[in-house]
Amino acid sequence: MNVSLTPELDKYVHGKVATGRYSSASEVVREALRTMQEREIDFLVDREVLRKKIDAGLDALERGDYVDATGDEHLRTTLESARMRHGL
């Protein structure tokens, strides 16, 4: 595989090799790709967690398990709930 980099990225990669942490440009690129994969996995996990929280919230609404509040009252209720959850 042959990859073309912009001059800025080429300088960055060679700078990483020059630090001695990497023995070659290929190592730098491999680590960058692994990091990219990890970020994608984290994104998918975060999205799934968010989806579950949304589903739980919608379920709570359907059950009538919610507090109807607006403005400052809503903020106070949310902060109090967070304090109780974290034992503050």
What is the residue extent of each domain of the chain?
Answer: 7-85
- At residue 85, what are phi and psi to the nearest 5 degrees? -65, -35
Q: What is the pLDDT of residue 10?
A: 97
What sign results for the dihedral spanned by CA atoms 20, 25, 26, 28? positive
Sign of CA dihedral 15, 16, 17, 18: positive
pLDDT grade for 1, boundaries at 50, 70 and 90: confident
Helix (H) or strand (E) holding 21: none
Task: Tell me the pLDDT tens digit for each residue of 8-57.
Answer: 999 999 999 999 999 999 999 999 999 999 999 999 999 999 999 999 99
Q: Give the separation between CA 40 and CA 3, rounded to whole angstroms.
A: 21
